[in-house]
Structure 1
């Protein structure tokens, strides 16, 4: 769980840094559409960084499924947010198909969290 907590904290930290970059350094450099895409990537990275911390800290979840969910969040953020960062900053258009794959992996992570809760030791 230590690795998952560290990944969540590092993801949150980099989301704040990239959010500040979007707010203060990229206006005028990126088009309005690209800037909005970048901000979407930052938001999803932050949401899933916080989700990593929750998944690591909820003892009621079935551990094996919670760990799979965490890895889904990590991979999903790398593919979803990472591809958007590279699409907007480096204009690597060939990465376009990677973004929805990352989104699907994030959805799988949430399905795993739901399953981990159902199969875990929740009281009530």
Structure 2
């Protein structure tokens, strides 16, 4: 059941990354500076990396269901904080909310993603296979 949830979330995350990438390339290209557009694209790129990671996660047979679940939540929350805050920061002047006030969540999201990947890495060393 968890594998199905992980796969569906990875597919959704990838689909949203494609939509946001197209939005950035077409709509935002006209109103953002090249630097801000590059920042927005960084959020899209890292979101897509994590989508691929989630799509692969169910195939990692050496991971317990508990570990997969933990990695899943670390990555999803990490993407929301990391990529989500980058999207807000890149389009900051287009909204009434100042995303710079919550810019501190960007590295927290990045750290959660790193911990998720690190858990997979460490489990390969602990594996008997």
TM-score by length of 1: 0.89
Preserved contact between residue 38 and residue 88 of structure 1 (Cα < 8 Å) = yes
Where in structure 2 are there 5+ consecutive unaligned residues?
Answer: 94-98
Preserved contact between residue 80 and residue 103 of structure 1 (Cα < 8 Å) = yes
1:39 is aligned to 41
Cα distance in structure 2, aligned partners of 1:71 and 1:121 = 25
* Residues 1:119 and 2:126 are matched in the alignment: yes
1:98 is aligned to 105
The CA RMSD over aligned residues, in Å, is: 1.5
- Pairing 1:1-124 to 2, within 5 Å after superposition: 1-91=3-93, 92-120=99-127, 122=129
Distance 1:59 1:121, change over 3 A: farther
Cα distance in structure 2, aligned partners of 1:94 and 1:36 = 21
Query: After TM superposition, which residue ranges in structure 1, 4 or more long, deviate above 2 angstroms?
Result: 60-63, 115-122
Cα distance in structure 2, aligned partners of 1:29 and 1:6 = 33
Preserved contact between residue 65 and residue 115 of structure 1 (Cα < 8 Å) = no
Equivalenced residues, count: 122
TM-score by length of 2: 0.86
Distance 1:6 1:121, change over 3 A: farther
